Chain A
Amino acid sequence: MTRKVLVIDDSPFVFKAVSKALEGTEWEVVGNALDGQLGIDKYIELRPDVITLDVTMPVMDGLETAKKLVEINPNVKIIMLSAMGDETLLNNAREIGVKYFLTKPFKPDTIQAKLAEVFE
């Protein structure tokens, strides 16, 4: 069964990297959004199984986007991607309801393992 992934990140690189990393797996990247607001629109449209969400983005940042996604669906599954390992940031995200985190750069097996963890 193919599971759907939505990438919300202002860097086109991350969309390519996540897509490549998941080639040949049960995961399919079905869409991407370059800012938080577009990300919310895409989530409503595509209803992915999981979202990879960047922290720093224009228009609406990752924390604000996560908050709104949790309001839409309290069971939404989000993996927050960050270039930093900032504890304050991670704690803020946990308070919103984000449970899964990944630091960039990541290898294909790292993100695959994280996705497996989300659905354990």
Chain B
Amino acid sequence: MENIAEVLQDKQELLFSLAKKSFEEVVAEITEETLVANGEFSIPTDDRLSLSIIIGLSGETNGRILINTSVAYGNNIAVAMNFGDPLDSQDDLFIYLAEFANMVCGRAATHINNQFGKREIWISPPAIFSAQDLEIITPNVSSMKAYYEFTHGKFILDMGFSESSYDDF
């Protein structure tokens, strides 16, 4: 009999690979760059505003997705979404990145639900935070990370799964 922990690990890895695929596809369509996950790096926080997009996951699997970057790199993506033109205002940055997050998680939900042949996962609307010394922690999740460095900047895709179940109602 297959070990339950191994089955769960395989499922989480599959979900993570589909989330990575979605991120890579959407960024490629926006920037026309092919993304490949690199080795680990950290995004400097000392002189830049950190920025994080948080997307909640629930259903058969509980957890969350984070897309961590800096305000400057986030701006590069937003400008690419604006077909290369600068944004009209700082407020636009969050509006564009919210749409970016919607596209990534919408794509991920499609891939995941198609893979499982059923509604496997529900996705909450994304949240975007920026701050100095930004700290984002989701306790009780074990996470997998992919690091992307390309001409538009550095991005860390972090998908975390619950170690304990938050039951449905």
Contacts and interface: CB of A to CB of B under 8 A. Distances in A.
Interface string A12-30: 1110110011000000000
Nearest to B125: A56
A83 B102 contact: yes
Contacts of A85: 107, 110
A11 interface: yes
Interface residues of A, number: 17
Contacts, number: 49
Interface string A94-120: 000000000011011000000000000
Contacts of A13: 81, 92, 95-96, 98-99
A69 B99 CA distance: 25
B32 to A, nearest CB: 9
A107 B32 CA distance: 11
Interface of B is mostly: helix
B12 to A, nearest CB: 22
28 contacts: A11-B95, A11-B98, A11-B102, A12-B92, A12-B95, A13-B81, A13-B95, A13-B96, A14-B99, A16-B82, A16-B88, A16-B92, A17-B81, A17-B82, A17-B83, A20-B82, A20-B85, A83-B102, A83-B106, A84-B106, A85-B107, A86-B109, A104-B103, A105-B26, A105-B30, A105-B103, A107-B29, A108-B83
